[in-house]
């Protein structure tokens, strides 16, 4: 073996790890939560139903751009009628790409799914490491572009949350539990995006003198504070988007009635 922990020149330790704590809990929880989300999102993306109940639209189906969308759910029929499948199958490519290439999620799934390595100071089973220089992992370098696209989705989902203050007839002044769920989802997505490492670099990267760029310095300082909580925002926004979709699905399917405040 020419690489890995048993390669020549490395300390010859036969134990896989000398750690005595429960280091496996974190990667195990990562796998469980991500697999649960992937199963849920796949079922919902193919369902092509129960994604709109005025004034609420599921984040999985927004923006609904096909003429086959439920009436009222899509403002722009960009895809016309040629797209017969679920609109979510196109929409979800972008948030999925954003999360798959995210620096934090990379760490999480490299550890959880590939055990590369499973945790600090725990030997990985692989004998070879090619980093992110080859297909498909080289695609992780597209993260910055997914970040830009993610911002567009954040604006759209924020718009969805704002128009959820209208009732089904279009009159302003409505507020139900669904309005709060969509608002919370949009807020969490903004926190996730603004705490992104690429966002931090966009704000303050490649500057030689912060003193000459006071506005960018302030923005970089703000994003840097959020960035320390990026992992928490990553999980909270992932769960938030699933909860928002589930809530809309339950209301649209008639399983529950939206709790209306006014
Ligand atoms: Fe996680 Fe950019 S690093 S979203």
Distance in Å, CA 213 to ligand 1 centroid: 24
Ligand 1: residue of 143, 146, 154 to mutate (most ligand atoms within 8 A of CB) is 143
Distance in Å, CA 57 to ligand 1 centroid: 25
Is the distance from the beta carbon of residue 237 to the nearest atom of ligand 1 less than 6 Å? no
Ligand 1: residue of 94, 95, 100, 104 to mutate (most ligand atoms within 8 A of CB) is 104
Tell me what pLDDT residue 77 has.
66
User: Tens place of pLDDT for every residue, the chain, 262 residues?
Assistant: 566 677 788 888 888 899 999 999 999 999 999 999 999 999 999 999 999 999 999 999 999 887 888 887 765 666 667 677 888 998 999 999 999 999 999 999 999 999 988 999 998 888 777 788 889 899 999 999 999 999 999 999 999 999 999 987 889 999 999 999 999 999 999 999 999 999 999 999 999 999 999 999 999 999 999 999 999 999 999 999 999 999 999 999 999 999 999 8
Tell me what pLDDT residue 187 has.
98
Instruction: Give the total residue count for the chain.
Output: 262
Is the distance from the beta carbon of residue 198 to the nearest atom of ligand 1 less than 6 Å? yes
Is the distance from the beta carbon of residue 147 to the nearest atom of ligand 1 less than 6 Å? yes
Tell me what pLDDT residue 132 has.
86
Tell me what pLDDT residue 158 has.
97
Question: Dihedral of CA 245/250/252/253: which sign?
Answer: positive
Is the distance from the beta carbon of residue 196 to the nearest atom of ligand 1 less than 6 Å? yes
Tell me what pLDDT residue 167 has.
86
Q: What is the ipTM of this complex?
A: 0.99
Is the distance from the beta carbon of residue 197 to the nearest atom of ligand 1 less than 6 Å? yes
Tell me what pLDDT residue 3 has.
65
Contacts 24+ apart (CB under 8 A), 156-161: 156/62, 156/63, 157/59, 157/62, 157/182, 157/185, 157/186, 157/189, 158/186, 158/190, 160/56, 160/57, 160/59, 160/62, 160/186, 161/185, 161/186
Alpha-carbon span 167 to 111, nearest angstrom: 46
Tell me what pLDDT residue 259 has.
94
Tell me what pLDDT residue 182 has.
98
Single pTM value for the model: 0.92
Distance in Å, CA 79 to ligand 1 centroid: 29
């Amino acid at each position: 073996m020419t690489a890995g922990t048993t390669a020549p020149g490395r300390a010859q330790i036969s134990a896989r790890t000398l750690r005595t704590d429960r280091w496996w809990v974190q990667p195990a929880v990562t796998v469980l939560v991500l697999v649960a989300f992937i199963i849920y999102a796949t079922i919902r993306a193919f369902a092509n139903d129960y994604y709109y109940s005025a004034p609420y639209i599921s984040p999985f189906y927004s923006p609904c751009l096909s003429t086959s969308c439920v009436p009222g759910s899509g403002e722009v029929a960009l895809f016309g009628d040629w797209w017969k499948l679920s609109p979510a199958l196109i929409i979800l490519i972008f948030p999925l790409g954003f999360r798959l290439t995210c620096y934090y999620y990379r760490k999480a799934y490299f550890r959880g799914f590939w055990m590369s390595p499973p945790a600090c100071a725990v030997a990985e089973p692989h004998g070879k490491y090619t980093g992110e220089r080859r297909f498909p992992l080289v695609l992780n370098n597209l993260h910055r572009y997914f970040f830009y696209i993610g911002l567009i989705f954040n604006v759209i989902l924020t718009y969805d949350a704002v128009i959820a203050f209208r009732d089904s007839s279009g009159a302003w002044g409505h507020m139900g539990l669904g309005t709060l769920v969509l608002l919370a989802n949009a807020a969490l997505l903004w926190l996730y995006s603004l705490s992104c490492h690429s966002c931090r670099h966009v704000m303050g990267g490649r500057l030689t003198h912060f003193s000459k760029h006071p506005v960018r310095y302030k923005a970089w300082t703000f994003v840097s504070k959020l960035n320390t909580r990026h992992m928490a925002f990553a999980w909270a926004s992932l769960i938030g988007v699933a909860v928002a979709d589930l809530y809309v699905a339950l209301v649209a399917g008639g399983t529950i009635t939206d709790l209306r405040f006014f």
